[in-house]
Amino acid sequence: MSKKIDRFQLLLDLAERKRKEMERLLGESQQRVAQAEAGLRQLKQYQLEYQQQFQQAGRSGLSSGGIQTYQAFISKVSATTLQQEQALKQSQAQLEQVEIHWRQAMAHHKAMQKLLDKAVDEQRKLDDKRLQQELDERSQHTRPNFI
């Protein structure tokens, strides 16, 4: 194998490692977004259920202390929901950045693969040409048997 091919193979190996690392990070980012979305859905569902409980309790009569307790808890759940929405937005923004880097790593890997393939093909053509020249030279130096 020629030095050129060896260098391209090394570059391809490095690009492959980078691509795999970016795929791992992409998976982790996608998982974080999915977890944040699931957490947000749970919080909203919990908030809705608690508000319904508050309304039912209000129909049957609540003390002012009970109303304040319900309202304080609903306020805390609302604040937590807002925090979870912010975390989701941040996770989505990170995912977008990781996707960009992943696409770049994929493109770089493909480019390195094409360069390696081209170098291997050029080397193969060069080897074939040398072999043909050697065969031509041998055929010129051999004497025919009928002489």
For residue 111, give the CATH number of its domain: 1.10.287.1700
Provide the domain limits for residue 24: 3-141
SS3 labels along the chain: CCHHHHHHHHHHHHHHHHHHHHHHHHHHHHHHHHHHHHHHHHHHHHHHHHHHHHHHHHHCCCCHHHHHHHHHHHHHHHHHHHHHHHHHHHHHHHHHHHHHHHHHHHHHHHHHHHHHHHHHHHHHHHHHHHHHHHHHHHHHHCCCCCC
Q: Is residue 19 part of a domain?
A: yes
pLDDT attached to residue 92: 97
What's the pLDDT at 40?
A: 95
- Residue 146 in domain: no
The residue ranges of the chain whose pLDDT is under 70 are 1, 142-147
In this predicted model, what pLDDT tens digit does every residue of 14-49 receive, in sequence order? 999 999 999 999 999 999 999 999 999 999 999 999
**Residue 18 maps to a domain:** yes
Determine the pLDDT at residue 147. Answer: 56
- Is 147 a domain residue? no
Residue 33 lies in a domain: yes
Number of domains composing the chain: 1
